[in-house]
């Protein structure tokens, strides 16, 4: 098979598997299901994906997060220099592209794949979602914009807040717009709400 045709066929396999995984979940989808969707022989399917369904899952999740990483880094790069501007850019990008919607799928399906595959996916998610955001906090600490604290914890708090706000801001669940809530949440992260110093 010519290289171009082989590449196109492989892309069709990845797209079909991705749709089925999202619709039914990883565990409920078989290679037979994917082959049937593509009107392809199962043996031909293994020609494109020799390691089977688990290889498909890892490749699909990995390439989606790599695309998200490119977009996220681009949003940060084109934001202003202050941390508040960068976090607003990150929040806007997250709400528009919804990479966090992939996390429940991964949490449900990850136990069904091998430890090696889990580690590959964890590394891709960290590199393309967590690390760019964490680097915003690290840079702000380096520039004395915020106090020295655990950047990983700040990242977790920020991502959790944005995930929750995106859900609340959809479907008219609140009288406040998503933009208003996002700005307020970032303001709280950066400046707090208490008028007194924390107790020790």
Q: How far is CA 198 from the centre of its chain?
A: 33
Q: Where are the alpha helices (DSSP H) in the chain?
A: 3-24, 31-38, 42-48, 53-77, 83-97, 102-109, 115-125, 131-142, 151-168, 178-191
C-alpha to C-alpha distance for 176 and 182, rounded to whole angstroms: 10
pTM: 0.81
What confidence tens digit (pLDDT) does each residue in 33-44 have? 999 999 999 988
Mean pLDDT over the full length of the chain: 87
Per-residue model confidence (pLDDT) at position 15: 92
What domains appear along the chain, each with residue ranges and CATH number? 1-49 (1.10.10.60), 57-191 (1.10.357.10)
What confidence tens digit (pLDDT) does each residue in 153-197 have? 999 999 989 888 877 776 666 678 888 899 999 999 999 887 766
* DSSP string for residues in 25-51: -TTT--HHHHHHHHT--HHHHHHH-TT
């Amino acid at each position: 098979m010519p290289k171009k045709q082989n590449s196109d066929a492989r892309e069709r396999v990845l797209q079909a598997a991705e749709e089925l995984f999202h619709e039914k979940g990883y565990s409920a989808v078989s290679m037979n299901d994917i082959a049937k969707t593509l009107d392809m022989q199962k043996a031909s399917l293994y020609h494109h994906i020799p390691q089977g369904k688990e290889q498909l899952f890892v490749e699909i999740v990995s390439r989606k997060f790599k695309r998200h990483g490119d977009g996220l880094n681009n949003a940060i790069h084109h934001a202003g220099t202050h941390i508040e501007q960068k976090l607003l850019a990150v929040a806007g990008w997250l709400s528009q592209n919804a990479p966090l919607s992939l996390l429940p799928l991964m949490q449900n399906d990850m136990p069904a794949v091998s430890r090696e595959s889990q580690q590959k996916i964890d590394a891709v998610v960290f590199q393309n979602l967590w690390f760019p955001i964490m680097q915003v906090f690290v840079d702000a600490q380096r520039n004395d914009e915020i106090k020295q604290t655990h950047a990983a914890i700040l990242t977790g708090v920020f991502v959790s807040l944005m995930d929750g706000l995106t859900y609340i801001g959809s479907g008219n669940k609140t009288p406040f717009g998503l933009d208003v809530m996002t700005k307020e949440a970032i303001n709280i992260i950066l400046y707090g709400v208490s008028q007194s110093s924390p107790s020790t």
